[in-house]
Amino acid sequence: MRHYTVIMSDLAFPEGPRWYDGYLYFSDMYGRKVFRYREGVGVESVGTVPERPSGLAQDANGDLLVSSMLDRRIVRFRDGEPETFADLRELCPGPVNDMTDDGHGGLYVGNFGFDSESSDGVMVPTRLVHVSADGDATQVGDPIMFPNGSVVTDGGTTLLVAETFNCRILAFDIADDGLLSNRRNWAVFHEMQTEHNLEEALGSGSILPDGICIDRDGALWIADAGGQGAVRVAQGGAILDRVPAPEGRAVFAVALGGDEGDLLFLCVGPVMGTTDPEVARAGSLIACRVDVPQAREHTSAIRASSRRTQDGTSAA
């Protein structure tokens, strides 16, 4: 039986955890704040994102990037204040959500695919957006039904994306210019009778993959928004390990980190539809040890190379 450590409770909806430079960064979406945590230091506030923070990443200089959901921007934090890094209103039909570094100072960003504040809530497929290191943005890849957690792997040549309401993980090849091709299934948890059928997905009892992270062996830890906790999955869909959610809770995002890379951080909250996160503060960030540590991020080496180049020294 695993031992859980509760890092922070009384959160509205924790999301987007990322381990950077010895700290675990995470958003409290409906609390409108971004935090960071380090053992021995505790939790510190990074700043406020009034239009709801979600996904987190870093730029080539190591500055924190945050998806500002409702105004569809990516903001960069410098000296505790957010500034616009990329305006995605023309490219994202719904709130921007999870995202990941592309390894070159840019990002892959997902969105809901519909306007959750003003529409009838009908979900439609949408496309990822690639944002370059300079903040230039373009739509990439084939349409996806609610793209969620994502990671870049295979030395920067493959993007994995959780397609939550089609119950699967997709893979894409990454071109040098950031474009995506060769869409394929990496793991399928439920064979949908009708693609993009939200009712079928929610009633299937399947894993609904939300946030993801990758370990040293190339397996994914997947947060199951359907309420089954977190699962460790191999390519092809075999389940290798499970971390159950606390009773009455679901896991919505995960990250590996800690000094040895073997701490699995879990963003936990009530099962979907059971509470109003604008009112209830029933979310928490917890952690437990796992057997296989995090993958060495190729982005770290590229960021170091970028910094050396900017300093005028050799990047070789």
Distance of alpha carbon 197 from alpha carbon 312, whole angstroms = 53
Q: Are residues 136 and 151 in contact, defined by beta-carbon separation less than 8 angstroms?
A: no
Residue 273: per-residue pLDDT: 67
Show Cβ contacts of residue 46 under 8 Å, excluding neighbours closer than 6 positions: 25, 33, 34, 35, 36, 64, 77, 80
pTM value is 0.90
Residues of the chain with pLDDT under 70: 1, 116-122, 273-274, 297-316
CB 296 within 8 A of CB 304: no
Domain spans in the chain, listed from the N-terminal domain onward: 5-310
Q: Which of 183, 239, 182, 180 is nearest to 209 (CA)?
A: 239
Amino acid at 143: P
Whole-Å CA distances, 253 to 109, 162, 221 = 16, 11, 9
Count of alpha carbons within 13 angstroms of residue 76, beta-carbon side = 18
User: Would you state the CATH architecture of domain 5-310?
Assistant: 6 Propeller (2.120)
3-state secondary structure the chain: CCCCEEEEEEECCEEEEEEECCEEEEEECCCCEEEEEECCCEEEEEEECCCCEEEEEECCCCCEEEEECCCCEEEEEECCEEEEEEECCCCCCCCEEEEEECCCCCEEEEECCCCCCCCCCCCCCEEEEEECCCCCEEEEEEEECCEEEEEEEHHHCEEEEEEHHHCEEEEEEECCCCCEEEEEEEEECCCCCCCCCHHHHHHCCCCCEEEEEEECCCCEEEEECCCCEEEEECCCCCEEEEECCCCCEEEEEEEEECCCCCEEEEEEEECCCCCCCCCCCCEEEEEEECCCCECCCHHHHHHHHHHHHHCCCCCC
pLDDT at 120: 55
CA 180, 299, 51 angle in degrees (round to 5)? 75
Return d(Cα 263, Cα 5) in angstroms, integer: 10
